Amino acid sequence: MKVAVLSESPADEAAVRILVDGLLGRQTQLVNLPPFRTRGVSGVFTILPVVLRSLHYQAEAGALVVVVDSDQSPVHKPEHDQAGGADEKCRLCRLRQITDSTLAQLRPIQGRPQIKVAFGIAVPAVEVWYRCGLDAHVTEATWIAGLQAGPLPYTQTGLKEDVYETSRPSLELETRRATEEARRLVQNLLLLEQCFPSGFGALAHTVRSW
């Protein structure tokens, strides 16, 4: 299966690919996306339609996986999935809306199924996934409680220091540590899904259906 991965950095994409292979139970063939001038959350939202159109017409991949951080945006809730219930501030809702709108504009190609798309939201940042199983305090529920009542249980800077031993890792260090933790996590993906049921759970549910 040919899969493309779009995230906020190449390091995140390397880790996400390992997690996707773990969810599928088999190794996928990675389709490299062209280098983009900007990344981060805003960059992903901007280039997502371009990526979808390219993959659709050039048939480079059968599936696309998109993962971004939630930062302090609202965490996705089940009621967002109801008709008219989408929250514009929820990043999972926004990714779905952009994707649905883009795919609806694409001309169907005979004999080729529509590209499969899966979304994951790291709440509040991808480093929480890398801490899963190592720090029981780092969970989606803990973060949501902090958002609602304060104070926030941890900072994204602190998470980076826990994972990389620096708040400003090089891309090489970030990639090495991200892939190391991803390889550890595939040994117990159920725990990752239990600790992050909304953000990682959405990704896992979709990928497993492929």
Asked whether the beta carbons of 57 and 84 are under 8 A apart, the reply is no
pLDDT per residue as tens digits for the range 25-83: 999 999 988 777 667 899 999 999 999 999 998 877 899 999 999 999 999 877 777 77
E-strand stretches of 36-144: 63-69, 116-122
Q: Specify whether the CB–CB gap between 105 and 50 falls below 8 A.
A: no
pLDDT tens by residue, 124-176: 999 999 999 999 999 999 999 999 998 999 999 999 999 999 999 999 999 99
Q: 97: pLDDT confidence band, cut at 50, 70 and 90?
A: very high
Tell me the average pLDDT across 119-125: 97
